[in-house]
Structure formats: structure tokens, C-alpha cells
Structure 1
Amino acid sequence: MENEQSDHPEQPNDYIDENLQQEIDDALGGKSLEKIIEELEGAKPVPAEGKDSQIRGKISTGQIRTGKIIDVDPAGVLVELGRKDQGVVPLEQFESTPEIGARVDFKVIRFDPNEQLWILSRSGAVEHASWENLQEGQIVEVFVESINKGGLEVKFSGVKAFMPISQISLYHIDDPSDFVGKKIRCQVVEINRAEKRVIVSARAYMELQAQQQRERLLAELAEGQIREGIVRQVTSYGAFVDLGGVDGLVHVSQMSHFHIDDPADIVKPGQKVQVEVLRIDRDTNRISLGMKRFEPDPWEGVAERFPSESIHTGKVTKIVPFGAFIELAPGIEALAHISELSDRQIHSAEQVVKPGQFVRLRVLKVDENAKRIAVSLKGVMQEDEQPLTEQGQPAKPKKKRTRPLRGGLD
């Protein structure tokens, strides 16, 4: 943008009087101009990806809970789940004898009212199952014997079971016959003892593993971390990035220091990206990510580029109730407070400027740390009344008509 020396005498950096400074501070609410612009660009609500369905706090069947091993004997492993709750898990689910005091993830199968204990399964462990001890939720390893129109015929520990095609994988399967003769880990999802029918699901087991991975990753994540992820989906408001089991959102305002019209111009699905973890909402498990950190900050050295009392040409980008935002350079926006737009009293910035309009302005104050620049149009507009073109150059004056108008009254 154009930079000229001002004919006005130099003023100290505190050129803005206290009343105007207070008005600006009140309007900004202690935020930088960049932060306000981000909020304006991100004002539209981001659609939620889905409600967290995990039950928390109270123990119930189907939960994955971390327990402390307090006793080990051939009858089973006694686990402390909380101050008053204990459970038991078969010893054979451990590859070696577990240590007292070790903390392990377990799945809650059911409550035994006679023993007053929760019956547990080691999370993700393959269980020895038979008709006598078979329970929904158990993890079993099945052998695929054959295929039919609806899915796979499987067998484990002498128990025949069925796996629907939709339950073979998290993804579409083109040819289920590829699984015949193979072993698959899955979860028992339905038991009908009267009809001796058992339904198993490899998909449910995969989802269980993914849930455990999500919980581990969420426990490790911290604000300020740098992570590598893969872009999963690009939308009009940003991009969802898979961090390895958990998705985070890079909002369009956090993709670059510069204005972005379409996030698809910056990233594509499947692309590997580096991101910074900005915020983590532990209640909703929503993660906000950013990419700005990995490109130069245009605000560095801004005080030298736009010193107080220098004259510049800028482009009006936004109209707000308290004034107008004006772009001085890519990634650098200044605020012209409504009281600095005109010598006459106005009720709206639109009475003086419009979005997209190029204007001449004077820099009043620069705060590089807070990323704020205050500018004024008042003195410059009076001195330079000539309109500007869309490129910010003075427009050529219209020629006066020298020939008389045709027609008219005698």
C-alpha cells in the first residue's frame, strides 16, 4: 500500500486523547483487532459432529473403566473400580500374572447381585466362551467357515454364530469371501439361547478399539502441542483433521494470517498437515486447532512499516457498530473508530465508507504486541477529496461538458 510523509507536524505516540482511547478500548473489550476479526469471521456456529454417548461417572454395563488390581488368585482377578465398587475378571484373560497395584482398562459386562461384584472383561481381550458363560459384549476370536447372502458363518469354542455383512468392517467390503478361512476378532452383540442364535460383529470390536484409542489420545493431548494429522474433511468454515483417532477443527480464521475465502484453496482431504492444539473442551471432546503458527506473522515489524502520523491507502473490509476495519496490507487490518471517520456527527460508519472502498488515512497509534492499529480518515479526507479507484489510485476527474444539451424549452 502507498506510504507518504504527512505534512502535519509530528505528534507523540499518545496522540489519541484519553476519551477517544477509552472509547476504542471499550469497543474492543481488551481484544486485539485480529481477534475481533477472527470472531466476526467465525460468528456462524460450527455444526456439531455428534453428541458424546459415553456414560460417565456411574458404573454401567458396556463401559470401559480403568481399575486397580487388588488381588490375584486362580478363581479370578479382583479389581477396585472406585471407593465402593469392585469387580472380577478371569485370570486366563491375562498373558501373565498381573501385578498387584497395576491399573488396567476393563469392560463392564454385568453385575452379579449374589457376589455384589461387577463381572469384567479385560478390554480388548479374547475370552474363552461357551454356551454356559457366553455374554453379550464379550470379545471372541472366530473362524470364518463360509459365506451366505447376508454375511459370514463363523465358529468359536464350538459355538456357531453369524456376522452380517454390515458388521465385517468399518468400511465397505467389496468381496466378503476374502474372509473365508481366516480368524477375526469380534464382539458378541446378540444372543438368543432359545434359538441358539449368536450374532457377532467385527465392526463393534473395531469401534471399541477406536474408542480406547480416542480416550488415550484425549488424555495425552494438551493445549500448545504441535501435532501431525491428516485432513479428513474440508467445509466452508474450515477443515477437520484426524490426529490419530480424534478429529479436531481448524477454523478458517485459524488457517492463515491472511484472509481466506475458501478453505479448499489451502488444504485437501488426505493431506498431511502440522497443527497446533489451541483449545480442548473436555466436556464435549471438541478440539480447536490452528495452522497460523507455521507461517510468518505479518504483524512483526508493523510499527516500523506504519509509524504514527504516516499516511497510507487502505481498503475497507468490514463495517461494525463502532467503526470500520481497513486493510493496510495483507494480514494487517486497522480500526477507524466511528468518531475518526468524519468531522460531522454520524450514526453509522456506512454514512462515510463502504466495504471494498479504498480510502486515504492517517495512522494514529500502533500497538504491535496487542496487534492493534488505530487510524483516522478525518484530516486526510478533508485534504484529499479526490475519489480513489478500486486499485487505490486517484481517479481521473470527469471532463466538464462543453457542448449544450439537446432539446429543452425555447
Structure 2
Amino acid sequence: MKIITMDEAAGKIVVSEREAMAEERAKALEHLKNGDTKEGIISGIVKFGLFVTFEGLEGLVHISEIAWGHVKNPSEHAAVGDRVKVKIIGVEGDKLSLSIKQLTADPWEAIAERYPVGKKVSGNVVRFADYGAFLQLEKDISGLVHLTEIAHHKVADPAQALKIGQKVEAQVINIDVDERRIGLSIKAILPIDKETLERIKKEREEEEAKAKEEKAGKAETATQPQVSPPAEEEASSPAGFVASKTGKKYYPAGSTAAEKIKDENRVTFATEEEAQKAGYSA
């Protein structure tokens, strides 16, 4: 308890358990530093990670810090009440970030040696994506079989050719340790019979024909004459000069003076010379 106020005359003391706990937490956090290892108890499980309590403190193990492999559901890796060891990876204000996986060896450090390109492997299908299927090769290590590497024929949906839990064989076709990616191919180890060859040939011909049609359509569009929309009639006045049958002066066509001349009295000239020869002056 922490004493908040004390009234000696009235004999009253006001205490706060919350403030006392906050003060103790702040003091405890001051002694923590990144890299420290603590043993605690799982106090809560949420979609985005695990809460762990130790020494009166509570911190979060984010879902990305539970294991080196893909973690879909934190509850599959721990239960409330479990004792775990955690590593302090961040202390910001009263926010405490923890990690479980960083206390274990990173399996990707030696992955290139265990899975060189060309090696045949086996694994279980653990999940699908729009672009392919993932095979679990070992704990925390999965590889991707892209849609184009599932079969010799075209596959639009991995679920059409594979099932979750199915054990399949594949071949390593690429590896990127920095990005933690292993590319696998199932079709690379599948035999190609005559029927498959015919199907592949037909699919390629169809794709080539479609590409040619698209290319031809673009070329035709590019060579078609561009028809410009009809230009709007200009509101400007016609060229030349105008005079009145009853007047002695000529004016530029379209001018204010020219517009005042009535149609029945209007006389037009192509040039000033013509107007002057007719006896009109500017």
C-alpha cells in the first residue's frame, strides 16, 4: 500500500494499492535490460501472442517471437499456467517485449547445408495459399511448392491436387536463407508419360495462341487511324470587311460597328481595297 494523504487531526489515512503496484513495477523495470533471461508463467493467450508474468511484471511474447516457424495459433504452443523461459527484447516505458524463440537455436543457420538445391525431400502439406502449398519439412521449417511446380498440367487451386496432412515428396529447386524461403517442386520428380506430354504441348499451344491474339489486337489498335472529334465551330467572325449601303465607311467583319448593320443593308468585301474602290473609307 502507498499512503496518498494523511489527516492527523481527523485520524484518517488514504492509501492506494494501485499506485503502490505501479511504483513497484516502475522500479522493477528499471533493473531490466535487453538480453536478460527470465522464467515466468503464461498468464494469458490472445490471437497476437502470449502474456507472461514474472517478478511482479507482465510482458508480451508476440506471435512472431513464439517459434522460428510459422505460428498460426498461439494456443497451440502454450497453455495458461505453463512455466516458460523468456528473453527480454524490449523495454519501452511500461511496455515489456519478450521472446521465447530467441532462447533456442535458429534452425535456418544451417539450413543451406541440410537442404541443398537438387535434394529430394518429403513433408506434410500444412497449409494452402493462393500461390501454392506449404510442406513442413521439420519443426519450424516449411517449404513452398508454387502452383506451377505442383504438377505437369496447369493447377489453378492447390487444393485440387493436394490435401492438408498429405505426405508428398518434392525436390529443392531454390533456397534463400536471408528471406527464410525454400522453393520446392513436386513435378520435378514426377514421370512424364505420353499423355502428359500431349497435354503440356496442348496447353502451351493454347497459351501461345492467346498471346498472339492479344498481340495482334494491340497492333491493330495502334495502326487504326485516329479520328479526331469534329472541331466545334469557332465563334470568331468571318474574315473580310463590311459596309452599309446607306453609309460611307467600312468596318472589319465581326466588329461591333459591323454587327450593327442590318442584313438588308449589309455589303461585304474581301479586302480593304475592294471596299475603297466601292467608295467606302475606313
Give the TM bin, normalised by the shorter chain.
0.5 to 0.7
**Alignment match of 1:354 (pick from 163, 180, 184):** 163
Q: CA deviation at 1:225?
A: 2.6
**2:127 counterpart of 1:276:** no
In the alignment, the residues of structure 2 paired with residue 371 and residue 268 of structure 1 have an alpha-carbon distance, to the nearest angstrom, of: 30
Q: In the TM superposition, what are the counterparts of 1:377-392 in structure 2 within 5 Å?
A: 377-382=186-191
- Structure 1 pair 365/225, CA: closer, same or farther in 2 (3 Å)? same
Q: Which amino acid aligns with 1:157?
A: E
Cα shift readout 1:121-169 (whole Å, capped 9, x = no counterpart): xxx6x6xxxxxxxxxx42x4xxxxxxxxxxxxxxx734244xxxxxxxx
Q: Deviations over 1:309-340 (max 9, x none)?
A: 11111111111122111111222111112222
- Structure with more helix by fraction: 2
Asked if 1:312 is matched to 2:112, the reply is no
Match of 2:185 in 1: 376
1:258-285 CA-to-partner distances (Å, cap 9, x unmatched) read: 67877587566373x4322345565xx5
Match of 1:239 among 42, 46, 50: 50
Give the conservation status (yes or no) of the 8 Å contact 2:176–2:182: yes
What are the residue-to-residue correspondences of 1:215-294 with 2, within 5 Å? 215-218=26-29, 224-231=34-41, 233-235=43-45, 237=47, 238-251=49-62, 254-257=65-68, 263=75, 266=78, 269=81, 271=83, 273-279=84-90, 285-294=94-103
In the alignment, the residues of structure 2 paired with residue 315 and residue 374 of structure 1 have an alpha-carbon distance, to the nearest angstrom, of: 15
Alignment-derived partner of residue 364 in structure 1: 173
Q: Residue 154 of structure 2 corresponds to which residue in structure 1?
A: 345
Aligned residue in 1 for 2:109: 300
Q: Per the alignment, do residues 281 and 316 of structure 1 end up closer, same or farther by CA in structure 2, a change over 3 Å counting? A: farther
Q: Pick from 128, 131, 136: which aligns with 1:327?
A: 136
Is there any run of 5+ residues in structure 1 with no aligned partner, and where? 1-123, 127-136, 141-155, 162-186, 189-200, 385-410
Q: 1:214 to 1:256 in 2, by over 3 A?
A: same
Deviation at 1:362, TM superposition (A): 0.7
Number of matched pairs: 190
Q: Equivalences for 1:26-105 in 2 at 5 Å?
A: none
In 1, are the aligned partners of 2:25 and 2:57 still within 8 Å (CA)?
Answer: yes
Cα 1:289–1:269 change in 2 (3 A) is same
Query: Unaligned stretches of 5+ in structure 2?
Result: 194-282
Whole-angstrom distance in 2 between the partners of 1:227 and 1:267: 20
Q: Distance in 2 between matches of 1:355 and 1:157?
A: 73
Residue type at the aligned position of 1:159: A
- The 1:158/1:281 distance shift into structure 2, 3 A limit, reads closer
Separation of aligned partners in 1, 2:21 and 2:74: 31
Scaled by the length of structure 1, the TM-score of the pair is 0.40
Partners of 1:212 and 1:229 in 2: CA distance: 22
> Residue 159 of structure 1 aligns to a residue in which SS?
coil
Q: From the CA coordinates, give the structure whose radius of gyration is larger.
A: 2
CA drift at 1:257: 3.7
> How large is the Cα RMSD of the aligned pairs?
3.3
Bigger relative contact order, structure 1 or 2, given CA contacts below 8 A and separation 6+?
1
CA 232–354 in structure 1, closer or farther in 2 if over 3 Å, else same: closer
Given residue 332 of structure 1, which amino acid in structure 2 is its aligned partner? I
The TM-score with structure 2 as length reference comes to: 0.55
Equivalent residue of 1:276, what SS? strand
- 1:373: how far off? 0.9
The letter of the residue matching 1:379 is: A
In the other structure, the counterpart of 1:214 is: 25
In the TM superposition, residue 345 of structure 1 has moved relative to its aligned partner by 2.6
The Cα shift of 1:348 comes to 2.1
Alpha-carbon distance change, 337 to 279 in structure 1, aligned in 2, over 3 angstroms = farther
Amino acid at match of 2:125: V
> Within 2, Cα distance between the matches of 1:157 and 1:329?
69
Structure 1 counterpart of 2:10, from 154, 159, 162: 159
Please state how far the C-alpha of 1:234 moved relative to its aligned partner.
Answer: 4.0
